[in-house]
Structure 1
Amino acid sequence: MNTLQLTLGPVLFYWSRDDILRFYSEAADWPLETIYLGEAVCSRRQQLRGQDWIALGKELAESGRRVVLSSLALIESESDLRRLRKLVENGELQLEANDLGAARLAQQQGRPFVAGHHLNIYNADTLALLQSLGARRWIPPVEMDRDTLAAVLQQFSRTGQPIETELFAWGRLPLALSARCFTARHYNLSKDDCQFRCLEHPDGLRLNTREQQAFLTINGIQTMSDGCHSLLPHLAAIAAMGVQALRISPQWQHTAQVIAGYQQAIQALHSPLHTDIDLAPYADSRLVDGYWRGEAGIAALGETHHAHS
């Protein structure tokens, strides 16, 4: 059984510059193999600009961490493309490509990259294609269940060169992106005059159904799950499957405690001592793992629900 590594995904929410810098100052001391930096959601969020992210990345790399710059998942303008080129051409830090254009730019520069979950790699052929462009690691789509992932990895191992697999293991699931801004719409504002209201919702804006059931979280142009996805109960099977890394998605509070809990659980895999770790107190919504088990994504840990279509 390989030893699972922990990674810190990019901050998906809109935090102030001071809060971002404080967060990563603390993260430099956490037991992480890789730290992802950058704006992956909305091009209007520019508390830190491209050069700021690159400078922060180089600083964090000095702490011995592998640092990867995450690209926007939705490129909408020439200015977005210019920012992407700056990230790709930084000359030092690797890129997480969340868009096929980013993967292509990295290939043209001859730079290896991480294939982000937004690339929707659902089979071994697509994974082989991304690897041929330069992908050295990939993150499966967050909706992919364990049986499908196991089949992809098994098939790929027979045909392709080795590639690292990183799973989204904790946090609100980033489900979809839109050209519309849902947070602006909530405040009856236009997208171009959003007044950066996302700053008021550092973990997104939770959305209930008309029956007042917790349903989704809106985060600017991004739709996320309401529940906090947790793969903590499944670590032994994940390690046996050949996955190398687990991604913890940053949240406004308690990210350090979540990482410490996962680290403790990983160490317990190689120890005869049973360790019962409860991370529910560090999530502000219920824990879910439905997608991983082939159930509806909204299903709570271990809960049987109608299967998603």
Structure 2
Amino acid sequence: MKKARIVLFSLVLSLLLSGMSLANKTLAATFNEATSKNDIYEKITRPKIGKERTERLLNYIKSTKKPVKNLSSEDLKKLQQDPSITSFSSQGEILKLPFTLESKNLESKNYSAISSLPIQTAAADNRVRINPTTTYPYNAIAQIDYTDGTYGYSCTGWFVDKNTVVTAAHCVYDTYNNKFYQAWYVYPAENGTQLPYGGMASTTAYVTSSWQLANPPDADSIYYKDVQYDFAVINLSSSINHPNYLTINTNPQVNNNIFSVGYPADKGFMSNGSYYYYMYGSSGNISKIENNTITHTAYVTPGMSGGPIMLTSNWNAVSLNSTSSWGIAFSTVSKNFILTWGAQNN
């Protein structure tokens, strides 16, 4: 009798497991079908900075003679209707540049979101602290504070010439609410409480009209298809002469060994009421290139957005941190945007 019960129980359990397995396969098939028809996206968390650094930004806004000038609703309509408008600035300048970014290898045209895919970092947390920060290429990298007029946030950037800083577009322009952030403070080679080059403030920045036209699922996410537009420039005073900057490489390749650098928020600390950051880097490689976007295995966390992704062979920047695993694949076109924006400062 006992043996019969065991056999019966085993049979029922087998049927249940078989049904669960079939259900899981059906669910997986449905999910894969859905994701092939809809665009995936990841988070672009903006970590907040301390009160003292936020107040420094707000005081700078009050004192500046060049406050941010967001485009009017009519100007925004022009961006949507006129394909010759390729970029614009936080000073209300509209540029018609002779080059445009075009999508490549994009399979789906249906971009309505289903849900955010789970972020899967291929590597364990292999970040290492960069110390000292005053040696090349790290002396070309900067921690950036910025504000929406109420709160302050943290990102990373890097110099591409003596007074032009490249960073992620989501650290410059809020495409969900269609407005620029109001000011940026750049701290080259920040190393905790050590600020070897001081701080440099600005209210002038540039993004592409393609980034402005992006339509993210929420204020803290970015579609994979829009990562190619997630780059921007902050122009500092023309009197700035920062001596250290990176070269842009427009030929990234799958399996390239890379080193991603930035200022992760989870490594920051408070000192005398102010927040400070340490520079960290993570090694990895490029696992995929499509849609003008790289997918990589470096370990990137909030606060590292905008930091350079460099080839370990020559420290050229081939990309920048957009999400935990995505970044633009720099091309001749995106490089031309960056250099042209920087030239507006001369």
TM-score computed with the length of structure 2 as normaliser: 0.22
Structure number with higher helix proportion: 1
Structure number with higher strand proportion: 2
Whichever of the two has the greater Rg, that structure is 2
